[in-house]
Each structure stands twice: as structure tokens, then as C-alpha cells.
Amino acid sequence: MDRATGNTTGLGWGLVGVVGFSLTLPMTRMAVPWLGATEVGWGRTVVAALVASAILIFRRDRFPRAHGRALFWVVAGVVLGFPLLSAWAMARVPASHGAVMLALLPLATAGAGVWRARERPSLRFWAASGMGASVTVAYALAGGGGHLVGADAALLAAVALAALGYGEGGRLAVTLGGWRVICWALVLSLPVTLGPVTWQAARVPWGQVPIQAWVGFLYVALGSQLTAFFAWYRGLAVGGIARVSQLQYLQVFLTLAWSAWWLHERVTWLDAGAASLVVAAVMWGKGAVITKRPIP
């Protein structure tokens, strides 16, 4: 596969992953008031881990011992850290407010790629990335009235952990394949998540949980935590972590669109204008040169 084809294929898979991730905050927001942050944040990983276990057994896949330590970084970032922290925040702030900090995720993921995958983006790339980040954060802050609340600390930590998990997972996916990375990470998390989730389940008033809460929970378990990662990690592996991560700038606007539909939030012309600027930044950065630093 030549570089141009790899970039296009990687961006295509990455876009599929971003669309899948864009529903995470609205669906979490729907489920948390009824099920609680632990049950949604880690309960989703338990359900996804059970499905992942079945996939690994069906494929007769053996644990990649040589990559065990690296997989624990993925577990810490996208299986344990981000789901729990974002669920905790969604119990306290609207989904649209969460977009403020998630807008920083592309830059953080690019930084993880520089650190873990030894990528070296050009100045044009960082300029395009900075433009996208500035527009997205300014827009999200304007929409939220410029207010930052205590849950933002959890969202900041969630962004940092997700970026680490994305960077490490994208690097591993080159060797293991994206589906194996997330499946093994989910299985490895079970000893940590199963106990708290089981304990919390005993406190949930199951008979009072409405259908929309179940829809939200099942989506974040089987969509956000599993199948979206199949596409996302494949995109990072094929197209490069720094380049494909820039598609995440579109995620905040997709999230707002889903929020308008599911949570009945109002979308204005300002939304469309900001989204257009972000798309322009992504397209400009798409052609930037990104090289690999040699391994010493």
C-alpha cells in the first residue's frame, strides 16, 4: 500500500471510529442518572469484555505476551480511565459542556503519537491542528457561556488518559491489528472492573430504569467501547496516529448534532460555521508531511 492510499484508507477507518465515538457523551448522559457513573463507566467495559472474550475464543487467539506491558497502557487509558471519568462528569454537566475538553483530544493524541510512535509532524500539521483546537475550544466555551466547573478536572484527566490509550493502541495495532488490541485490553480489565460493577448493580433500582437509559448503556458498551475501536485503531495504524487523530475535531460537532436529536438541544448557524472552519483545518492538515524518527 503506497503512502497516499494508506492515508486515505486510514482516514476512512478513522472517520468511522469518530462517528461511533461521537455518540458516547449523549448516550452516557442518558444512562448515568439511572444507572450511576460506575455502572455506566465500568459496566460498559464489563459487557464489552464479555463479547470480546467470545471473539477471542472463537478466533482461538493467544495472548500476545510480548506486548503485555503496552496493553496495560491501553487498559489504563481507554478501558478504565476515560469511561469512568467521563461518566462521572456526565452526571454533573451536560453533554455539550463535555465537548469543551474533548476538543483538546486531537492535540493530545497527536502528542501521544509523537511520544510513543516516534512520529514527527511538520509545522504545517501543528498549525492546522492548533487552528482546529482554537476554533473548537472557542466555540465550545462560547456555547457554555465561558463557564468551567469542577467536572472539568475529570474531563481533562479523561482526555489525557484517552490520548495515551489511543497513541499506544494505534502503535500496537500496526502489529496486532486493531480488534485484537481492544479485545485483549478489555479482557485484561475484568479483574479490576467486575467487582465494583457487581457491587453497584445491587444498588440499581432495575424496575425503574427507562428504556432510553438501556439504549444509552448498550450503545456505549457495544458501540463506543468495542466496535468503534475496531475501526479507530485500524485507522491509526494505517494512516498514522497524528494524521488520523485530527478527525477528532469533527467529533465535538457530531456530538452536538446527536445531542440535538437525542437530548433536544438547539443547533444554530454558529454550529455550522464553526464546523466548517474545523473541516477546513482538517483538510489543510491532511496534506502535511509526517515523518518517523529513527529508533536509536
Is pLDDT larger for residue 287 or for residue 18? 18
Mean predicted confidence (pLDDT) in 174-200:
95
Which pLDDT score, from 0 to 100, does residue 3 have? Answer: 61
Residue 158 clears pLDDT 60, i.e. is over it? yes
Residue 116 clears pLDDT 80, i.e. is over it? no
pLDDT-derived band at 60 (thresholds 50, 70, 90) equals: very high
| 245 in Cβ contact with 109 (< 8 Å) | yes
As a whole number, the mean pLDDT across the chain is: 86
Give the predicted TM-score (pTM) of the model: 0.86
Is pLDDT larger for residue 117 or for residue 93? 93
Which pLDDT score, from 0 to 100, does residue 143 have? Answer: 63
Classify burial at 66, counting beta carbons within 10 Å of its beta carbon; exposed 0-12, middle 13-18, buried 19 or more: exposed
Which pLDDT score, from 0 to 100, does residue 242 have? Answer: 79
Which pLDDT score, from 0 to 100, does residue 295 have? Answer: 42
Continuous segment of H or E residues that includes residue 290 = strand 290-292
Q: How far apart are the first and last CA of the chain?
A: 26
Tell me the per-residue pLDDT of 68-113, one tens digit each, with 9 for 90 and over: 999 999 999 999 999 999 999 999 888 877 777 787 888 888 777 7
pLDDT-derived band at 246 (thresholds 50, 70, 90) equals: confident
Distance (Å, rounded) from C-alpha 11 to C-alpha 247?
A: 8
Distance (Å, rounded) from C-alpha 11 to C-alpha 53?
A: 28
Which pLDDT score, from 0 to 100, does residue 250 have? Answer: 87
C-alpha cell at 294: 529513527
| 51 in Cβ contact with 226 (< 8 Å) | yes
Which pLDDT score, from 0 to 100, does residue 126 have? Answer: 82
pLDDT-derived band at 47 (thresholds 50, 70, 90) equals: very high
Listed in order, strand segments (DSSP E) in 92-200 are 119-121
Question: For 100-109, 110-119, 163-172, 195-204, which range has the lowest pLDDT when averaged over its residues?
Answer: 110-119
Which pLDDT score, from 0 to 100, does residue 147 have? Answer: 63
Residue 296 clears pLDDT 60, i.e. is over it? no
- Interaxial angle between packed helices 95-102 and 123-143, expressed in degrees from 0 to 180 and rounded to the nearest 10: 160
C-alpha cell at 157: 484527566
Per domain, the residue ranges of the chain are: 3-291
Distance (Å, rounded) from C-alpha 177 to C-alpha 254?
A: 27
Report the DSSP beta bridge partners of residue 121.
Answer: 290
Distance (Å, rounded) from C-alpha 83 to C-alpha 25?
A: 10
Is pLDDT larger for residue 224 or for residue 139? 224
Question: For 35-44, 121-130, 163-172, 247-256, which range has the lowest pLDDT when averaged over its residues?
Answer: 121-130
Is pLDDT larger for residue 269 or for residue 71? 71
Chain centroid to CA 243: 15
